[in-house]
Amino acid sequence: MRLPRARNGTGRAREVLKGTSGWTVAALAGVAAAVAAGTLPDVIKSWLGEQRPFLTVLCVVAAGVFAGINLWQQRSRGVGIVVALPREEWREPWNAQWTVAAADHARRGHDSCFTVRRAVPSSGSGAERNATREDALGVAYELMSARLTELSAADPSTPVSLYVNAALPDAFELGAKFKSHVQRELRGMHDIPERVTLPQRSERPHTDFFPAVRISGRLKDPLSTAEAVRAAKLAEVVEEPQFEGDPEGRAVAVVVHLSDNPLMVAQALRAAGAGCADARGEWARCRAALVIDGGPANLPETTADFELVVRHVYASWRAWNRARPQYADLTHRLFIAAPASVAFALGWLFGHTMRVVEHPHETGETCTSS
C-alpha cells in the first residue's frame, strides 16, 4: 500500500510543478514589465536615491527580459505529421498502438498534430496490386504535401516533424516523392533551421521517439576524415562482396544492412544474382553488387549517427559508381534492412535513380528488404 501512495504523491507533485510552470513564466513577465514601465525603478529610487546610470541599465535589461519571454511564449513549436501506411494482411506492427504513440509524442512536442493513414495492398495480381499501392502512396503524399505547403505559406519558419511507419519499400518511395517538395525554410525539431526532421521509434526504456534524420542537402556533403572513421565503425563498405552475379544482368544491387537481421545480406545477394522483381513488379538479375553492412548491432539512437550513416551510404554509392563506369547503363536496385527514417532519407536521395526491392516473407516475393 505504501508504494502506490508514494507514486501518487510523486505524480501529484509533478502535476503541480507542471501546472505552476506557466504561472512562473507569467509572473516573471509581469515583474519584467513592471520594471520596464518604471514601477520598480521608482521604488528603488526611494531606497538608493538618484542613481541614473544604474536605473537606466536596469530598465534596458528588464525590457530585454520582457521581450525575450514574450518571444519565447509566442514561438512556434510547429506541427507533427504522422504518416501510417499499414500493409494489408501483414503482421502486428500495423496495430494502432504506434499511431497513437506517435500522435501523442507529436502533440507533446508541437503545437498541433496531423495524421495520414492509408492501407497499402499486399495481395492481388501483380499489376493490380502495384497500381493500387502506387495510388495509396500518392494519396498519402498529396495529403502530407498539402499540409506542408499550407504551413510553409502561413509561416515558412514552422518546425515540422514527419513520423513515418511504413514497409521499407513504401518509406523509400514516399521519400522519393518528397524530393519534389519545396521546403521553403521549414525547420525541424528543436529549432534546427532549414530542416524537416524524421523522428524514429526508440528501443530504449522510457523513450518513445527521438529526432533521427533532418532532410536537407547536407546529407550529400562529403565526410570529413573524422566522420569517415566514425562511419566505418557504424557500417562496413564491401565493394567486392562474394556474389555470383549474372554477366548478362541488367542491374546493380546495392545492399544496405543497418539493423539486426543476420541473414539479410546473404539472402539479398542470392536473390540479386538469381533475379527477382522490385517493388513495382519489374524483374531483373544483377551483374554486380555493393554491400554496406552495419553488422549485428542496431545504430546508436542519436541524430548525429543516423545522419552520418545516411551520408556514408550516399558517399559510398557515389564513389563505387564513379570507379565502375562500365556499369553506368545498368539499373540500380536497393535491398535494405534499416530504420524507416533511414529508408525515407535514402528515398529522398536516391529515389529518382534507384528501385527498391520488396520483402519476401509477407509479400511472397523472392527478394529481401526488411
> Could you tell me where the beta strands, DSSP code E, fall in the chain?
79-85, 112-117, 160-166, 196-201, 209-215, 236-238, 251-257, 276-277, 283-284, 286-293, 331-337, 354-356
Separation between Cα atoms, residue 332 and residue 328, nearest integer Å? 10
Distances (CA, A) of 101 to 150, 216, 228: 25, 26, 35
Q: Quote the pLDDT of residue 24.
A: 63
- Note the pLDDT tens digit of each residue in 322-365: 999 999 999 999 999 999 999 999 999 999 999 999 865 333 44
Neighbouring C-beta atoms of residue 86, cutoff 10 Å:
22
Q: Quote the pLDDT of residue 280.
A: 86
User: Which residues on neighbouring strands pair with residue 315, listed in sequence order?
Assistant: none
> Could you tell me where the beta strands, DSSP code E, fall in 13-107?
79-85
First and final C-alpha spacing in the chain: 47
**This model's pTM is above 0.75:** yes
Task: Please give the single-letter amino acid code of residue 155.
Answer: D
List CB contacts of 74: < 8 A, sequence separation 6 or more: none
Residues in the chain where the model's pLDDT stays below 70:
1-52, 54-76, 89-95, 123-125, 152, 156, 181-195, 359-370
Separation between Cα atoms, residue 319 and residue 313, nearest integer Å? 10
Among candidate residues 369, 345, 20, 105, the one with its CA nearest the CA of residue 214: 345
> Residue 303: enclosing H or E segment and its boundaries?
helix 303-323
Separation between Cα atoms, residue 315 and residue 220, nearest integer Å? 7
- Note the pLDDT tens digit of each residue in 98-130: 889 999 999 998 888 989 998 887 765 677 788
Residue 237 backbone phi and psi in degrees, to 5 = -95, 120
Q: Quote the pLDDT of residue 4.
A: 39
Q: Quote the pLDDT of residue 73.
A: 44
Separation between Cα atoms, residue 189 and residue 198, nearest integer Å? 9
Largest CA distance in the chain: 94
- Relative orientation angle of helices 303-323 and 225-234, to the nearest 10 degrees: 100
> Do residues 169 and 359 lie in contact, with contact meaning Cβ atoms separated by under 8 Å?
yes
Q: Which three cell numbers stand for residue 68?
A: 525575450
